[in-house]
Amino acid sequence: MREDRRQSSQVRERDTDLAFLAHRLDDGEARIQAALLRGEDVAAWENFWLRLLHQYESLHDGAGIDEQASIAA
């Protein structure tokens, strides 16, 4: 029973982290697109966005639960 609660808590935490990263990815994409329309250099933003995407993919696949804290700031 205790193990079930722990796993359920981990799943909820992972889902929350995924939702947070998805929001950051959506927001980042919108900001990048707006900056591109203004003619700004977005290379650094795109690199960061790709790091967030890889983090999301890793967490989604279940392999990056500990890694996610490194960029979530």
| Tally of structural domains, the chain | 1
How far apart CA 28 and CA 63 sit, in angstroms, is: 23
- Mean pLDDT along residues 38-63: 94
Checking phi first, is residue 41 left (phi over 0); if not, alpha (psi -120 to 50) or beta?
Answer: beta
How far apart CA 14 and CA 20 sit, in angstroms, is: 10
* Domain span including residue 66: 2-70
pTM to 2 decimals? 0.73
Q: What is the dihedral of CA 67, 51, 14, 70, to 10 degrees?
A: 40
Instruction: For residue 45, give the nearest of 54, 33, 37, 57 by alpha carbon.
Output: 33
pLDDT at residue 63, rounded to an integer? 55
